[in-house]
Each structure stands twice: as C-alpha cells, then as structure tokens.
Amino acid sequence: MTTLAQINAMTPEAFSAAFGAVYEHSPWIAQRAFQRRPFASDTDLLLALWGVVQAASPEEQLALIASHPELAGREAQAGTLTAASTQEQAAAGLGLLDAGQRAELAELNRRYAERFGFPFIICARLNSREAIFGTLRARLHNQREQEVHNALAQIGQIARLRLTDLLAA
C-alpha cells in the first residue's frame, strides 16, 4: 500500500509511472495533477486528477474519450486491451458473449461511434452485461453534448475505481 507521504515525495516520473494508467492511455492527466501536490488525502489525489480532466480543453477531453476501447471490440478480440480494461470488461461478463451477443454489441458500438464520433463508455465494473446493452441502446437517443458529459462521467467512475485499486495494492 502506497502512503500519501510516499506519493507526495514522488518525482514527476515516478508519479506518472504510478498513476499514468488511471485514465486510459492518458498519462498527461497524471503529469498535470503532479503539480497539485501535496495531496492531503486519497480523495484529494482523486480530485486533483479529476480536476485536470475538467480543466482540459474540449479537444483534450474528446481525445481522452477517444482513447477508450470499444466494449468487446477489436482490441478485446485481439488481446491488446490494457490490463485494467481487460479486467473491467471481464468483470461485466463481456468476454462470455455468444456470437449473437457479440454481433449485436458490435452493431450497437458501430451505430454509437457513427452517431457521436467516439466509443461508448460505461464503467463496466459497476454494470452487468444486460445493463450495458440496455444503457447503450438508451444512450443512442441522446444528443452529442449529453454523451460527451456521460462519457466523461463514466471515465470519472472508472478512474475512481482504478485509483482505489492502486492505492490498496
């Protein structure tokens, strides 16, 4: 378990190495959050990371959203997901889809990406396979601005769980 004293004493490189994967393929968030040290609590660290996301430009936020893989998509099929994404998708049972479910999810993912220009994002660890399908179907009817907001909120939940896991390890 890493203590706050150890975190606050980290070099920029060590901090980025420790927390760069909290946000999928986006180490820039940890690099910027480093400047907000010292952290008074685990929550303060989480809020510093989230504050970077909130302060990011719309282009950076869209790049963060786009850095996430499709659920049970090409990367999952190829085995190239990050370790965290692999575990998260497995927790929701997405690795156990039958051929029909895989085809349906692929079609829903395609329609979502075509409509919004980025992948559907949901905190898989907090949702069942059935809930993921239902939420994806429902969110296809939203406006793009709402989906940017939804995607960022889901990314925040994913990051909170990842950070909690890192701090407990």
Nearest to 106 by CA among 76, 126, 81: 76
- Which 8-state DSSP code applies to residue 119? -
Residues belonging to the chain = 169
Sign of the alpha-carbon torsion through 93, 99, 104, 110:
positive
Closest among 84, 79, 69, 67 to 21, alpha carbons compared: 84
Catalytic status, residue 25: no
Residue tagged active-site, from 25, 68, 141, 149 = 68
Q: What separation, in Å, do the N-terminal and C-terminal C-alpha atoms of the chain show?
A: 5
Catalytic residues: 68
